[in-house]
Amino acid sequence: MTYRLDRIHRLTGADPGDPVQRYTLQTAVIGARLLDWPDQPL
């Protein structure tokens, strides 16, 4: 779990420990799932 949180931070620059940034990350994940990203071509 710690590895994944660190990787998210390194890839996005967002801190999953900060509530505002965590909300942003969660919203992005939900949007990606709704769009079936990256499996669907645009």
Structure tokens that stand for 8 in this block: 């998210």
- Spatial distance between the Cα atoms of 42 and 33, rounded to a whole number of angstroms: 14
Which pLDDT value is given to residue 42?
Answer: 60
Q: How confident is the model at residue 19 (pLDDT cuts 50, 70, 90)?
A: very high
14 neighbors 25 (Cβ within 8 angstroms): yes
Q: How confident is the model at residue 40 (pLDDT cuts 50, 70, 90)?
A: low
